[in-house]
Amino acid sequence: MITFDSIRQNPAVQAYISRADESLLAQGFTEHSFAHVSLVAENVAYILRELGYSEHDVELARIAAYLHDIGNLVNRIEHSQSGAVMAFSILDDMQMPAEDIATIVTAIGNHDEGTGVPVNAVAAALILADKSDVRRSRVRNTDTSTFDIHDRVNYSVRKSQLKINEEHTIVKLKLTVDTHYGSVMDYFEIFLDRMILCRKAAEKLGLQFKLIINEQQLI
């Protein structure tokens, strides 16, 4: 059986994630390496377990989360599609069952806000987990005077929490933002499309999506 741990320990996967992040670093993007994909894997597991999905679904979601950004190795543009093709090759070589490959590849190919659609539960959980990873430690530029808007927004987030309520009706993304570095409007300027996709992903899971910044509900 192909497990999350076997994917995480795969030398090719490690190389692709590392080199993809190197490419993004050269282009000035925030961190998309092991810290990011590990956190996304942790959050997809939380979402699906909280909603009562099977451990098999959880395992597929964790694998999709860990592989979701390898397409950045090819190019940032359409990285979700190229990543899906790369993931197919890796998983097929590892002789994963076709049904499981299909679920993972579909989720990866639909995680980006430009073209993505939450077509199934794994894809929906991946979208929510990926788009909620906003944090100061993702910023790699050490000179605050040269921050671009992505640096400002991520650096301004002092705390981020994705939480499903006890009734399993609402998923909340709660952010604590230091407005000294970035404004709430900065956040919406670059993340509005992502938040709209999160709302659609939540609906696929039977939830309402709420964005709360500094204790104020904005969506």
Q: pLDDT at residue 180 above 90?
A: no
Q: What is the pLDDT of residue 1?
A: 80
pLDDT of 184 higher than 90: no
DSSP 28-94: TPPP-SHHHHHHHHHHHHHHHHHTT--HHHHHHHHHHHHHTTGGGGT-STTHHHHHHHHHHHHHHHT
Q: Reply yes or no on whether the pLDDT at 113 is more than 80.
A: yes
CA distance 23 to 129: 23
Burial of residue 184 (CB within 10 Å: 0-12, 13-18, 19+) is middle
What pLDDT is attached to residue 102? 98
Give one DSSP letter per residue of 39-56, joined into a string: HHHHHHHHHHHHTT--HH
* pLDDT score at 14: 98
The one-letter amino acid at 177: V
pTM (whole model) above 0.85: yes
Q: What's the mean pLDDT in 181-196? A: 85
Q: Does domain 4-217 fall into CATH 1.10.3210? A: yes
The residue to which tokens 């539960």 are assigned: 121
Model confidence at 169, pLDDT cuts 50, 70, 90, reads very high
- Average confidence (pLDDT) over 63-79: 97
pLDDT of the residue at 142: 87
Domain boundaries, the chain: 4-217
pLDDT of residue 157: 92
pLDDT tops 80 at residue 182: no
Comparing 215 with 59, which gets the higher pLDDT? 59
The span from the CA of 52 to the CA of 89, in Å, is: 30
Predicted confidence band of residue 54 (pLDDT cuts 50, 70, 90): very high
d(CA 142, CA 174): 26
DSSP 8-class letter at 169: S
Of 93 and 1, the structure prediction assigns the larger pLDDT to: 93
